[in-house]
Amino acid sequence: MLTLAAVAILPLAFVSYIIVRDEIGNVTRTIDFEVRDAALSAQARFNRLLDRRELHAVAAASSPPLQTAIRRNSAQRLSRLARRNGLLLEVRGHTYGRRLHGAVTGRIPLVSGGRSIGAVVAQLPANAATLQRLARSDSHGVRLAFVSTGGTPPDSQSRGTTLPLAPSIGVRAYLPHDLVSDRKGAAYTRVTVAGLLALAALMLLTFVLARPLLRAFRWTEEQASEARIDSLTGLANRRALEEILAAEISRAQRFRHDLALVLLDLDHFKDINDNFGHAAGDVMLRAVSVLLTSLARQGDTVARWGGEEFVVVLPETDLPGGRRFAERLRRTIEAHPVGEMQTSASCGVATMLPDDTVDALLGAADQGLYRAKSNGRNRTESVVRNSSTAVA
């Protein structure tokens, strides 16, 4: 009986630990996405508000009342127009209206008689009222604050993202520390309750079907792993890469980020198999996969495309950045022989166009790889495209 209980408890305890770790990781990634999405939304709304005020300033600059007050050099009328329109007027070295401390400004040139005599200044204050207009109704507890760029925010212990609004001011979206703890605690509780219920059910079944249940569990785990992981290198396989790349393209299109792709092929790999054997070739593939993983950033995806080809997905990376990364890969592979085996790599680099698909982006990187192979191997070639030359 004790043996049967151990057979039931130990695997489930291990799986529960993995699930708890992954669930907490998912909660953290969700929070990071929410705060960044809120910061991007606040930045966009702030820019729209400032644009409206600048349009209002443009209209005021050309209005007949203001031009008449300027011609008559009437300080009283200029002050009244500035207060009535909520603007700051700078006319011939004099300032009319109230200058808002810490406001983001936009300057509209003021012209009279064909000469520049000053500016109409649109001001958007960085205060609580403006923050309220930037907040979203579906914020999930995410809060906003104006911060000085380059400084340490007062809520630095909370998870948050800061985006710039002007050279000296930015908006910070953050989730307070207590809400982060509550979410993680709720996730831990859900997984714990589910684990205890599963344990009770599993122990009940174990007494009746111990061996068949363990065999089915092992088979399910192996199938799930084989579906997305390359068995030789431990990297994402082709199927997983296509899913990940589709998600990264969608995210880059939504947030208008750059996305680079590196397609890498080991040069003369057949010679390694012929001279040292296929087992040695497998050792080389595993060694290269370790090098690629060590050079990748957090958030990058390294996958085995097939044979001796590898793919690296680089979010928020432009073409020069993708090319520099590919060159680091190429030089590192060339500088790290495996025993007596020496190889090099040819790399093709491409970046996403606004309307790209998975096949189009992979096809562009493949063009760069073909060019690198044709030009002598052990080199990096990038593909510069526009919408009319995109790969179908």
Task: Please tell me whether residues 352 and 214 are part of one structural domain.
Answer: no
Query: Of 191, 226, 261, which one is at a domain's C-terminal end?
Result: 226
Task: Please tell me whether residues 176 and 249 are part of one structural domain.
Answer: no
Best-predicted range by mean pLDDT (85-99, 159-173, 340-354): 340-354
Mean residue pLDDT across the chain: 85
For residue 23, being part of any structural domain is answered with yes
For residue 218, being part of any structural domain is answered with yes
Write the CA distances from 151 to 72, 102, 143, integer angstroms. 46, 15, 18
Task: Please tell me whether residues 198 and 54 are part of one structural domain.
Answer: yes
User: Of the given ranges (162-171, 180-189, 234-243, 273-282), which has the lowest mean pLDDT?
Assistant: 180-189
Task: Please tell me whether residues 286 and 383 are part of one structural domain.
Answer: yes
Give me the pLDDT at residue 1, please. 46
* CATH number of the domain that residue 373 is part of: 3.30.70.270
pLDDT, average across residues 93-104: 87
Residue 11 has pLDDT above 80, yes or no: no
Give me the pLDDT at residue 180, please. 83
* Residue 392 pLDDT level (bands cut at 50, 70, 90): very low
pLDDT (tens digit per residue) in 291-338? 999 999 999 999 999 899 999 999 999 999 999 999 999 999 999 999
Residue 146 has pLDDT above 70, yes or no: yes
Query: Of 206, 226, 246, which one is at a domain's C-terminal end?
Result: 226
Task: Please tell me whether residues 96 and 222 are part of one structural domain.
Answer: yes
For residue 87, being part of any structural domain is answered with yes
Task: Please tell me whether residues 337 and 286 are part of one structural domain.
Answer: yes
For residue 232, being part of any structural domain is answered with no
Lookup result for tokens 């990940």: 244
The pTM of this model reads 0.45
Task: Please tell me whether residues 46 and 178 are part of one structural domain.
Answer: yes
For residue 233, being part of any structural domain is answered with no
Give me the pLDDT at residue 389, please. 47
Task: Please tell me whether residues 181 and 258 are part of one structural domain.
Answer: no
Look at the chain and report how many structural domains it folds into.
2
Give me the pLDDT at residue 98, please. 87
Give me the pLDDT at residue 22, please. 83
Task: Please tell me whether residues 65 and 148 are part of one structural domain.
Answer: yes
Task: Please tell me whether residues 172 and 320 are part of one structural domain.
Answer: no
Task: Please tell me whether residues 114 and 251 are part of one structural domain.
Answer: no
Helix H, strand E, coil C: the string for the chain is CHHHHHHHHHHHHHHHHHHHHHHHHHHHHHHHHHHHHHHHHHHHHHHHHHHHHHHHHHHHHCCHHHHHHHHCCCHHHHHHHHHHHCCEEEECCEEECCCCCCCEEEEEEEEECCEEEEEEEEEECCCHHHHHHHCCCCCCCCEEEEEECCCCCCCCCCEEEEEEEECCEEEEEEECHHHHHHHHHHHHHHHHHHHHHHHHHHHHHHHHHHHHHHHHHHHHHHHHHHHHECCCCCCECHHHHHHHHHHHHHHHHHHCCCEEEEEEEECCHHHHHHHHCHHHHHHHHHHHHHHHHHHCCCCCEEEEEECCEEEEEEECCCHHHHHHHHHHHHHHHHCCCECCECCCEEEEEEECCCCCCHHHHHHHHHHHHHHHHHCCCCCEEEECCCHHHCCC
Task: Please tell me whether residues 243 and 222 are part of one structural domain.
Answer: no
Cβ atoms of 87 and 55 closer than 8 Å? no
Lookup result for tokens 């997905």: 313
* Residue 351 pLDDT level (bands cut at 50, 70, 90): very high
Give me the pLDDT at residue 215, please. 67
For residue 231, being part of any structural domain is answered with no
> Of 343, 341, 322, 325, which Cα lies nearest the Cα of 266?
343
Query: Of 176, 195, 226, which one is at a domain's C-terminal end?
Result: 226
Share of the chain above pLDDT 70, in %: 85
Structural domain containing residue 247:
238-389
What does the block give as tokens for 390? 């995109």
For residue 354, being part of any structural domain is answered with yes
